[in-house]
Structure 1
């Protein structure tokens, strides 16, 4: 499982982030972002969804071949052709990761996938085992986990672990859950799934109700040791958890989060933010936490007076940190 004090950063800017309307990037632009993510020192780059198109497969393949010192993941639905496409794209990476996803909520199984619960369980077993036959590192995600039945979720994750999954991801796919619920779910899974202590638990949150960062931090309290994030919180609908917010929250409040930490080079956060904004054409809101133009600006006279006397009166972190 690795050092329990380290929170792994799984950056999905190039996959989930690029699914944000208008955020499409060329292969060369994706490589620029990947190179910046290496400078940022993320642990895993989810480089894309290779089965989506030949262009996406090529972009993931180029990133896998040209970046070193970082794990490269590709997303696959629980389908042999998807998994084969991911393996073709990432097999030349230093540390390849096949990321397999299948929904587990009743609404997704019934209305989207037209699968029964047992049929879905069998597909997870078969497809995770197939992915593991190709690649030693496999992540399994239970899409819409936070709207799934908890006991069924335990059965699915247990099957995935037995089939070779090394990371178990618990996505809040539609930004539905609340922090206390998400933390409780992680604790429940840790207590009820045989073998969970041998794998990494991961959190993946969306910001539909403005809770993505809070939920991700709650998951860390509940035992998550990997968080799936994007630069600037880029992502579908209201976006994903912003890497800069989670990293700086952990760095600013180590007392509250049990002194866990990330390996992120925080001095590269602003450069990453500006690069992604420029390439996608999606501006960063001025009052965005950590990287917004106004994040360290002070207008009120009382605040300015305090800042002149001691910066800590109104700033809990420095721009340089």
Structure 2
């Protein structure tokens, strides 16, 4: 005679089976190539950092890491692509500071809470850069021109609501200047627009203009940092010029909320080893990307703090859509 299995015992058995399957899945991770999402066009700092990371991680993964670009809506489209995928660790997002800005502007409903942070890799300040033959040789000359009635100083950024847009708007607020903000799908295209003479300046990081500065095509007038930065020691900070402004970006890695803890730890361990690879440091030094590693919990703390800071700044600057 067969007796029915009590519902409670059946539920317990199913939970146990699910746990065992999840554990087996995590142990076999990765069993196929892992994608690294960059939410901007190729050529910018975020893209360069992602490709350096993917190359450095090869030695510490049984599967290759493949970078793909998903630009649009100041990075919101790329973020949505990762959040909307199965949370299994096979899509890693190159997170950027805008994840703590865009929700407050009404551009996306995705927030930093939709991600589990893996690690922060980099931090860079904003800077004002112009063409080498620009009539402006100092930040004072540039801002004086932007204060004149009827001026039309075009400043390129990485998209509406990007950190570089917010940085330039903050400089307006601090200095009394007025800019015509021109959005692009990433810092790379904005820099190309500057090289082509389509804008007068960009507000991106020094890392994203470094190659062109070294080639004598561009010049940096000032950095929005607390102190001068490596590779640009001859460029003054805005604070040195009596403008109290320090603002910039960070970049790191994250996976969608719901990713199994064992997979998260696997990626964190791989990342910690990858950032110590010579190629990672060489690329970051060559591109003047500031090395600023922080583990998952520390990265999470920063994201929570920045979320509140930028929420207040977006409101103050009336940046909401």
* Same topology, TM > 0.5: no
Where relative contact order (Cα < 8 A, 6+ residues apart) is larger, the structure is 2
What band does the TM-score fall into relative to the shorter chain? under 0.3
| Greater C-alpha Rg | 2
Alignment TM-score, normalising by the size of structure 2: 0.26
Name the TM-score, length of structure 1 as normaliser: 0.26
Q: Which has the higher strand share?
A: 2
